[in-house]
């Protein structure tokens, strides 16, 4: 069954953010109530990698069944759309008089250990976090006060510590975005320069066209039409799975590196 929050990808993309959908997201989760706000979390996951906690957020733990949030936020500022329905992220608590957080709050789990070894957060991630929250609040016609940290909502007070940044400052940044008082999106379009000094390659995803798409298609053994369509995306996701990468269908620095190291395919397949 297709769930209620299918508007999430478009709302985030329209805010200029990087978005990757996780297979099956439209039907993942249970029945959602009226969305009244956003609850912010950090994953307390591993230090290495962009979104190493993604599988846990989808499947859950031995104590709490998944999905554990509608959105995951990688260290590079990519939003992973995990579920379009109700998720198990809030627990018992209260914020703005709302006591059923799972039913009425969208949960965002941002990748961070929650420890001193992962603080301060990457600015590109914090910037995306603020912009993503602002985009959701604008869509549901709420102000920044309807964004809470898990540590603020959860009862008893002190039971949760996430996220480990100042929520008042976070809400001030969200308010600035809602009021249009912010600079352009910080997410870079290209990698850092290669060791030989040549320019890095642009991150590409479904909907892109051009020479970089043809190069990537050639590495996948696909027909090189230069159009990043659904079949190309499916092939990218499978390549990423085969190379222990997050199967988000987005070709960024880590995927380009894996493509460069992979042997050339035997013969083209339909794109």
In tens digits, the chain (271 residues) has pLDDT values of 789 999 999 999 999 898 999 999 999 999 999 999 999 999 999 998 889 999 999 999 999 999 999 999 999 899 999 999 999 999 999 999 999 999 999 999 999 999 999 999 999 999 999 999 999 999 999 999 999 999 999 999 999 999 999 999 999 999 999 999 887 665 454 454 444 444 567 888 888 899 999 999 998 999 999 999 989 988 998 998 888 887 778 888 888 889 888 887 755 555 5
Residue 184 lies in a domain: no
Q: Give yes or no: residues 243 and 120 share one domain.
A: no
Q: Is 166 helix (H, G, I), strand (E, B) or coil?
A: coil
pTM for this prediction: 0.76
Distance CA 46, CA 265 (A): 34
Considering the domain architecture, whether residues 202 and 169 belong to the same structural domain is answered as: no
Q: Which of 149, 178, 207 corresponds to the end of one domain? A: 178
pLDDT of residue 268: 52
Nearest to residue 126, comparing CAs of 8, 17, 7? 17
Q: For residues 65 and 144, state if they share a domain.
A: yes
As for how many domains the chain has, the answer is 2
pLDDT at 48: 87
The pLDDT of residue 192: 47
Q: What domain range includes position 126?
A: 8-178
In a domain, 183, yes or no: no
């Amino acid at each position: 069954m297709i769930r209620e929050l299918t508007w999430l990808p478009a709302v985030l993309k329209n805010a200029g953010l990087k978005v990757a959908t996780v297979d099956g997201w439209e039907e993942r989760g249970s029945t959602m109530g009226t969305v009244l706000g956003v609850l912010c979390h950090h994953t307390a996951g591993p230090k290495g990698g962009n979104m190493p906690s993604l599988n846990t957020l989808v499947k859950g733990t031995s104590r709490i069944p998944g999905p554990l949030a509608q959105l995951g936020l990688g260290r590079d500022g990519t939003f992973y759309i995990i579920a379009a329905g109700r998720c198990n992220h809030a627990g018992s608590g209260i914020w703005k008089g709302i006591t059923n957080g799972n039913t009425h709050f969208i949960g965002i789990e941002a990748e961070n250990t929650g420890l001193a070894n992962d603080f301060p957060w990457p600015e590109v991630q914090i910037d995306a976090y603020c912009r993503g929250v602002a985009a959701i609040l604008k869509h549901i016609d709420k102000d920044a006060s309807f964004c809470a940290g898990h540590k603020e909502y959860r009862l008893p007070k002190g039971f949760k510590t996430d996220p480990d940044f100042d929520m008042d400052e976070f809400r001030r940044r969200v308010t600035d975005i809602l009021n249009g008082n912010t600079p352009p999106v910080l997410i870079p379009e290209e990698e850092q320069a290669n060791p030989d000094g040549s320019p890095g390659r642009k991150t590409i995803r479904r909907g892109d066209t051009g020479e970089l798409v043809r190069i990537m298609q050639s590495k996948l053994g696909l027909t090189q039409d230069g159009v990043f369509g659904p079949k190309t995306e499916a092939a990218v996701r499978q390549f990423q799975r085969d190379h222990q990468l997050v199967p988000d269908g987005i070709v960024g620095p880590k995927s380009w590196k894996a493509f460069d190291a992979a042997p050339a395919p035997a013969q083209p397949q339909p794109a």
